[in-house]
Amino acid sequence: MRSGRRLPVVAVTGLHRGENPQPGPAVAASLRRRFPDLRIIGLSYDPMESGQYTTGLDRVDAAYLVPYPRVGHAELLERLDAIVAKDAFDIVVPCLDSELPNYLKLRTELAGRGIACVLPDSDALERRNKENLATLCHGIGVPVPATFASSNCADLLGFVASIGYPAYIKGRFYEARLVHSPIELRAAFDELMAAWGGPVLAQEIAVGEEYDVVGLGDGKGAIVGSCSIRKMLRTKAGKGFAGVVVADPALDDLVGKVIRALRWNGPFELEFVKSPGRPHQLFEMNPRFPAWADFPSQIGCNLPARMVERLLGLKPGPLGDCVPGQMFVRHCVDIVGNIADLAQMATAGERTGPAGSHSIEVIS
């Protein structure tokens, strides 16, 4: 950590808040609920990411474009060095699944530059990958839907023929397609391979209520804090658009098994489905905070703030239990700003002041 500052400067990624929202703004808002004067820098992949232009608790004080994760870790480090040279930060919070491999490769380099980052062990990250999750869960007694991963479309066709249509076809990092025939499966396979690379997953459909658990692992097998919800509304992409807190010991037990087995360090999101007459089945584990992470922060369980407190060695603030029955419903708003901010991001790849601090000359 750099000395001489009352608070660290934190960089967050994942700033898109559209139909398929990313977690960055929720993390920013959570941190400001604990640290109102915190300076937050946004690391963005596109000038149109809406979280760059907000002015509330979820705002970023400056924004910088960074290369897409597929470009690689060396290019990311080069860009981060350029950003730090003009706007130094002390902590970075990656909020997207696809970023984690690059940040893991840069763990030593970031530490040498005085930049802290809470990351899981590389082996743990690999074991919870979509293609490996079923194997992990079978070994620890956590139910999962029948799942098969391959970079060969013929293999997936054979698997789905054995379990029956319809089935889900999922990309390595993101996106899922519900397919009802071999023709639809082939089309989905081609799209997801082109977008995310292999392997592509085929998964049986488990019909029922969906549950989500956000938490923070201590790296030793224990859970620092968590919040469990039942999804009440979902987007077409399956994202929770409304949820209600639940207390479910059976669900807590399954979450504990996964985190103990992985000795997970840092934020996580576990997604379950509960079919009538069957136990909860884990169908996905994401290695970061979810887009709804600010909801538990508003009801006494601020997990992003606790993560930063641990990094700084601060006396932790209260981390209460989320009371069952509390709920959230997401809604969309229009962000009003100045085209000069977008122009600066598109041309210079950065906006060094808060949204609205730049103006353009109007010639009449």
For the domain that residue 212 is a member of, what is the CATH number?
3.30.470.20
Minimum mean pLDDT range among 113-117, 118-122, 335-339: 335-339
pLDDT tens digits for range 304-358: 999 999 999 888 877 888 999 999 999 888 888 889 888 999 999 998 888 866 5
Q: Quick check: is 359 in a domain?
A: no
* C-alpha to C-alpha distance for 259 and 221, rounded to whole angstroms: 6
Q: Quick check: is 133 in a domain?
A: no
Q: Quick check: is 35 in a domain?
A: yes
For the domain that residue 102 is a member of, what is the CATH number?
3.40.50.20
Residue 363, phi then psi, degrees to nearest 5: -100, 120
Q: Quick check: is 149 in a domain?
A: no
Residues 258-290 as b or e (16 or more Cβ within 10 Å = b): bbebbbbbbbbbbbbbbeeeeebbbbbbbbbbb
Q: What local confidence, expressed as pLDDT, does residue 357 receive?
A: 67
Q: How many domains does the chain have?
A: 3
Statement to judge: residues 176 and 217 lie in one domain: no
Give 324 or 360, the one with higher predicted confidence: 324
Q: What is the pTM of this model?
A: 0.90
**Residue 57: is it exposed, middle or buried by C-beta count within 10 angstroms (0-12/13-18/19+)?**
middle
Statement to judge: residues 242 and 260 lie in one domain: yes
Q: What local confidence, expressed as pLDDT, does residue 364 receive?
A: 32
Q: With a cut of 80, say whether residue 4 has pLDDT above it.
A: no
Residue 110 tokens read as: 């970031």
Q: What local confidence, expressed as pLDDT, does residue 362 receive?
A: 36
Statement to judge: residues 218 and 194 lie in one domain: no
Please name the amino acid found at residue 225: G
pLDDT tens digits for range 137-167: 999 999 999 999 999 999 999 999 999 999 9
Range of the structural domain that residue 318 is part of: 124-128+207-329
Statement to judge: residues 60 and 88 lie in one domain: yes
Statement to judge: residues 259 and 344 lie in one domain: no
Question: 3-7, 117-121, 176-180: which has the highest mean pLDDT?
Answer: 117-121
Statement to judge: residues 17 and 108 lie in one domain: yes
* C-alpha to C-alpha distance for 100 and 108, rounded to whole angstroms: 14
pLDDT tens digits for range 202-218: 999 888 999 999 999 99
* C-alpha to C-alpha distance for 171 and 194, rounded to whole angstroms: 10
Statement to judge: residues 340 and 263 lie in one domain: no
Statement to judge: residues 323 and 274 lie in one domain: yes
Q: What local confidence, expressed as pLDDT, does residue 320 receive?
A: 87
Q: Using alpha carbons, select from 293, 216, 299, 310 the residue that is nearest to residue 8.
A: 310
Statement to judge: residues 15 and 84 lie in one domain: yes
Residue 93, phi then psi, degrees to nearest 5: -115, 95
Judged by DSSP in three states, 7 sits in coil
Statement to judge: residues 174 and 281 lie in one domain: no
Q: Quick check: is 319 in a domain?
A: yes
Share of the chain above pLDDT 70, in %: 95
Q: Quick check: is 267 in a domain?
A: yes
**Residues counted in the chain:** 364
Statement to judge: residues 162 and 216 lie in one domain: no
Statement to judge: residues 178 and 285 lie in one domain: no
Judged by DSSP in three states, 307 sits in helix
Q: Quick check: is 151 in a domain?
A: no
Give 226 or 314, the one with higher predicted confidence: 226
Q: Quick check: is 146 in a domain?
A: no
Residue 217, phi then psi, degrees to nearest 5: -90, 150
Mean pLDDT of 65-94: 97
